[in-house]
Amino acid sequence: MTEARVEVRLAPREDGGREPITVEDELRSLVHWLRADETLAHGLVSRLEAQRPAGEGEMGAALDVVALVLGSGLSAGALAVSVLQWRDTRRTGRPLVVRRGAWEVHVPPGRPADEATLARLVALLEAADDGEPDAPDASGGSGEGR
């Protein structure tokens, strides 16, 4: 795998409910989890970023995405497993969205990830920068990038 940029974010809750933990706190937890994973120590840079500028009356933009830079020595499988393990430890009703370029994988909340989800994530992480993932239905939905 060559160096690539991947974004991880939490989508709005599917049930429309509210959570006591903020999206930023959840994403900080993910960054901490990934940095503590020894299998990812070489080849992964992670940081929190804001996708949108600060709104009127806000002191700063909300940090709402984890930006990952994947180096050539990183195992896509190890990263996918680590992200899914983190998600499985969280009590959130929010789907997890992993994006690389125009391609996304949506991981639904509320149940442990299955083999198909893991395969879609690995395909997304291993995809060539100018092509599409090799796994069928790699977008996690319609099979088309968004």
Instruction: Give 71-81 pLDDT, tens digit per residue.
Output: 888 889 999 99
Can you tell me which residue has the tokens 């977008």? 139
pLDDT for residue 3: 77
Domain coordinates of the chain in residue numbers? 4-13+21-126
Place of tokens 């994988």: 105
* CATH fold of 4-13+21-126: Alpha-Beta Plaits (3.30.70)
Q: What is the mean pLDDT of the chain?
A: 79
Instruction: Say how far apart CA 52 and CA 54 lie, in whole Å.
Output: 7
18-63 pLDDT, tens digit per residue, is 666 788 889 999 999 999 999 998 889 998 888 766 666 655 556 7
pLDDT of amino acid 136 = 43
Q: Note the pTM of the prediction, 2 decimals.
A: 0.78
User: How many CB atoms are located within 10 Å of the residue 7 CB?
Assistant: 17
